[in-house]
A and B are shown apart, each in its own frame.
Chain A
Amino acid sequence: MKVVEINDVYKTYRDTEVEVRAINGVTLSFEKGDFAVIVGPSGSGKTTLLNLIGGLDQPTGGEIIVAGHHLSELRPSELIDFRMEHVGFVFQSYNLIPVLTAAENVGFIMNLQKWPKEKRKARTDELLESVGLADRHNSRPSQLSGGQQQRVAVARALAPRPEFILADEPTANLDSKSAETLLDIMEKLNQEENMTFIFSTHDARVMKRARRVITLEDGRIISDERTNHNS
């Protein structure tokens, strides 16, 4: 089953005089349960592509369909609701709301979706448990390590059961041990909950673990390989 369909998408930035073709004719789709990584040199358009898939930005040309929604047809406020319901985001850093505890951060989107309190609490407990932070319910982000913060962010993204999770360089600020732990967790969630993960990275450790590697260069896909090395 396709969760994301990208048809001949272009994205041009017209900042000053110069025109930058950040995405230059990409056609691509993601299946339910993908554990895909987008790689490529700096400036090749990884972040731009993820932003387009997540509905944070609109393409200059082409079409993106996510869970049956044509993103270009959604109004700005509908796009926000769309993201809340269908997309989980994990950013490189500053993912969490500093004034909320780990548990409150995990519950934040469920709170926006007005989940009943008990259901929310049960899901929060379950997720904190599965990211290995069952004992850090009441810690503020500032009391957590970078790796722990990223794990909370993954738990939050996962909480409302989105279509897929987008992670733009989630390990970029982590040491190798924390990065490994985070990948272990994402892999486990991918297998246990059949959650689709799409992330970008520069990190060889991440590439090694992916089951699909898409390589970008100058806004074009130059390779899309499925590997079978399960750890």
Chain B
Amino acid sequence: MKDYQLAWRNLWRNKRRTLITAASVFFAVFFALVMRSFQLGTYNKMYRDVIESYSGYLQLQNTDYLDEPNIDNGFVVDQDITGMIESDPNVTTVIPRLEAFALAAVGSRTQGVMVIGMDPDKEDKGFNIRNRMVKYKLTPDAVESLKAENLPGRTGKLLDVFLNESFTDEAGLTSILGIDRSDTMKVLPLFRKYASFRNACLAASDTGFAVIGSGLSEYLHAGVGDTIVLMGQGYHGTSAAGLYVVKGVVIMPQPEIDNRFVYLTLDDARYLYDAPGMATSAIISITETGDKELHNTQERLTRVCGDGLVIRNWKEMNALLLNQMEADNKSGAIMIGILYLVIAFGVFGTVLMMMAERRREFGMLVSIGMQKSKLAKVVSLEMLLIGLLGVVAGVAASLPIVFYGYAKPLRFTGELARMYEDYGFEPVMPMLLPDTYYLWQVVIVLLILSIAIAFSIRKVFKLNIINALRA
């Protein structure tokens, strides 16, 4: 009979209590993990969205641009400096960008927009706009025609829910409209026929064309081929105005950006704002994006970027978002803390009862020759086994949910979705795959257990045999 065997059998002498204790640990771990996964997954997506659709990981900027982001705080792009930056091992390209405010108008509708001038040949390394182009759009006409085709399953009903929705690829279309894998061969051609969206990217040689966000397109009622007017203030107070034909519509993941996005070629933007050779920022795209490598790269580049210019990382550029997420993160951590506190009391209660009930037995065991250290080991193993039972079950139960929630993120519709969009977020809640936060839950439970174990070890060593036998 080994110590762990004895511990295992002791575990089941009060089956119900063991199960209740293990179950309480299980639920705490399970809820904490699912909640954390949602929370962290959502933050992660927000960071990624803002990085991929807007700021990039690193930018070259004028020193003053972060505080006063206007075109007067731009800089003249120096090929020597960009060349040096591009020669860094972690850097793939440098993409100069001219970004400025403008008023966009179509007919009587106007909207304040963010004009971004970029070199179309390089844009794919920065924003990947090519993959964000709208390919399908459920216009009222398209929905009408699709309904007449008697689509299988839920798809027919979902068409109304997603009226006027745009899609950038067929994967999004099939998952959001609940099209069964077996039906895709039949259904997708119908979507291609009725809901295809004619669209094109900017080319380097284009002049007088623009690509706009789908939200903006909606608001201005400006589709492909329509002309928009842009008006604003150019470099050092010159006036800026121009006419641009919409060539394409894109979906930017952050609604806040999507609703205000106007993309011109860099040359067009420089001309519009009377800022030849200038940029307001240059996105530095890098391969290794982890915190440590990012920091090192930033330091290396800071040394070469020259006077009046700085390298900013995405955290500096998105300080507001980070603060919001940090506050939200704290409130989540407090909730989990309370949850674990309750569990800790439960576990402690079990230890107390177990020790009290078995005093006599412990007295007998030490009388007949069992060393207290061995007894303490058996009792500790019992506690550890209960805890691990809960942790292992909790982790195991959370995994399928987390993996599912990662593969098929929860997507809101209706009011809730609108609310999310009003705050500038896409109404999607993906989950984060297991990461250090899993480790943390285990650490917390082990911490609770070690307190319980320390207590029971102390009790065993302080056991007075005579009193225990008289109990």
Interface residues in chain A, defined as those with a beta carbon under 8 Å from any beta carbon in chain B = 51, 54, 56-57, 77, 80-81, 83-85, 89, 91, 94-95, 97-100, 104, 107-109, 111-112, 156-157
Question: Does B466 sit at the interface, judged by CB under 8 A?
Answer: yes
Of B13, B364, B369, the residue contacting A84 (CB under 8 A) is B369
Q: How far, in whole Å, are A111 and B1 apart by their CA atoms in the complex?
A: 7
Give the chain B neighbours of A97 by CB distance below 8 A.
6, 361, 365
CB distance from A186 to the nearest CB of B (A): 17
- The answer, among B6, B366, B370, for a CB contact under 8 Å with A99, is B6
In the complex, are the beta carbons of B466 and A56 less than 8 A apart?
yes
B465 at interface (Cβ–Cβ under 8 A)? yes
Q: Are B469 and A81 in contact (CB under 8 A)?
A: no
Which of A77, A91, A98 makes the CB contact (< 8 A) with B469? A91
Report, nearest first, the 8 A-B pairs whose CB atoms are least far apart.
A84-B369, A99-B9, A83-B369, A56-B465, A57-B466, A89-B368, A89-B367, A94-B360
In the bound complex, residues from chain A placing their C-beta under 8 Å from that of B374 are 112
Q: Beyond the given A57-B465, A84-B368, A95-B364, please list 7 additional residue pairs across the A-B interface where CB-CB is below 8 A.
A: A80-B366, A84-B370, A91-B367, A91-B469, A98-B361, A99-B10, A100-B6
Residues of chain A with a CB closer than 8 A to B361's CB: 94, 97-98
Closest to B358 in A: A98
Specify the chain A residue showing the minimal Cβ separation from B465.
Answer: A56
Given the known inter-chain contacts A97-B361, A104-B1, A107-B1, please indicate yes or no for A51 contacting B466, CB distance below 8 A. Answer: yes
**Is B372 in contact with chain A by the CB < 8 A criterion?**
yes
- Asked whether any CB of chain A lies closer than 8 Å to the CB of B184, the reply is no
Whether B371 is near chain A, meaning CB under 8 Å from some CB there, is yes
Given A91-B469, A107-B1, are A98 and B13 neighbors across the interface (CB < 8 Å)? yes
A67 to B364, CA, bound (A): 22
Complex formed: what's the CA distance from A104 to B1 in Å? 8
CA distance A108 to B361 in the complex (A): 14
| Residue contact A80 to B370, C-beta cutoff 8 Å | yes
Complex contact A94–B368 (CB within 8 A): no
Please give the distance in Å from A135's CB to the nearest CB on chain B.
21
Question: Which chain B positions have C-beta within 8 A of A77?
Answer: 371-373
| Contact, CB under 8 Å: B372 / A80 | yes
Contact: B364 with A91, CB < 8 Å?
A: yes
B364 contacts A94, C-beta separation under 8 Å: yes
Residue numbers in B under 8 Å from A107 (CB-CB):
1
Closest to B360 in A: A94
Q: Whole-angstrom distance from the CB of A117 to the nearest CB of chain B?
A: 11
Closest beta carbon of chain A to B375's beta carbon, Å: 10
With A and B bound together, what is the CA distance between A77 and B370 in angstroms?
A: 10
In the bound complex, CA of A157 to CA of B361 (Å): 16
CA distance A80 to B6 in the complex (A): 20
Please measure, in the bound complex, the distance between the C-alpha atom of A91 and the C-alpha atom of B373, giving whole angstroms. Answer: 23
Q: Report the nearest A residue to B373, measured CB to CB.
A: A77
Given known contacts A99-B6, A100-B1, A56 and B365 CB-to-CB distance under 8 angstroms: no
Closest B residue to A84 using CB positions:
B369
* Distance in angstroms between the alpha carbons of A111 and B371 in the assembled complex: 13
Q: Nearest B residue to A56 by beta-carbon distance?
A: B465
18 inter-chain pairs at a CB distance below 8 angstroms, sorted by A residue, are A51-B466, A56-B465, A77-B371, A77-B372, A77-B373, A80-B370, A80-B371, A81-B369, A91-B469, A94-B361, A94-B364, A98-B361, A99-B12, A100-B1, A107-B1, A108-B368, A109-B368, A112-B369
